Chains A and B, each alone.
Chain A
Amino acid sequence: AQRVTQPEKLLSVFKGAPVELKCNYSYSGSPELFWYVQYSRQRLQLLLRHISRESIKGFTADLNKGETSFHLKKPFAQEEDSAMYYCALGVCRGANSKLTFGKGITLSVRP
């Protein structure tokens, strides 16, 4: 069975500090990994996906299949990055297509 582990519930940093939000997954097949973000009073939305290898709002995430990790990183945190972040694993296709989410982590960026 697939599983997503986000080991920390809360990360609090000062503005300008580096950020790393940890995500580990368990899946025997070829994984598709995503990071979703939920800002205060806004809808949950896709931040980035591993296949696109983009940098969104200064965030990057590299899929490490050896360590089964997909950590989200940003070199210099901004106050507007404060939000709830979810790592998600996409499994199967067609009739069994769905995402499994981790428990989420709250990022708080202090001025």
Chain B
Amino acid sequence: NAGVTQTPKFRVLKTGQSMTLLCAQDMNHEYMYWYRQDPGMGLRLIHYSVGEGTTAKGEVPDGYNVSRLKKQNFLLGLESAAPSQTSVYFCASSYSTDTGELFFGEGSRLTVL
């Protein structure tokens, strides 16, 4: 049982480049989330999804887009990367209709030069 898997785990981009982070979960969870983790800032919610085909903005959505075309996948896109987007990105999923327990991926470290 893989749980939550994020790809890639590491990536270096130049300013202005685009990329997509993929999150896949095999637990049949309805809810999926993208967080970014920065020193001194903790975990901040970027976007989330409460089910296939739905997405919603979190605390820091600017500069990111997401899609949930399949229940098991949640994609995070950066159309034009900026140095301020250098961070560690975490995907998480949860099962229940209340907040419940989140299951996290291992994280993806993104550096924008």
Using CB atoms and an 8 Å cutoff, list the residues of chain A in contact with chain B: 6, 9, 32, 34, 36, 43-46, 49, 86, 90-104
Contacts and interface: CB of A to CB of B under 8 A. Distances in A.
Interface residues of B, number: 27
Pairs of residues from A and B, 10 with the lowest C-beta to C-beta distance, nearest first = A90-B99, A103-B42, A101-B43, A44-B104, A104-B42, A43-B104, A46-B101, A93-B98, A101-B42, A97-B99
B102 interface: yes
Contact of A97 (B90, B92, B98, B105): B98
A106 to B, nearest CB: 10
Given A95-B50, A99-B33, 18 more contacts: A6-B42, A9-B40, A32-B99, A34-B101, A44-B43, A44-B92, A44-B102, A44-B104, A90-B98, A93-B97, A93-B98, A93-B99, A94-B50, A94-B97, A97-B97, A97-B98, A100-B59, A101-B44
Contacts, number: 62
9 contacts: A43-B105, A44-B43, A44-B90, A90-B98, A93-B98, A97-B97, A98-B45, A101-B43, A101-B44
Interface string B78-113: 000000000000101010011111101111000000
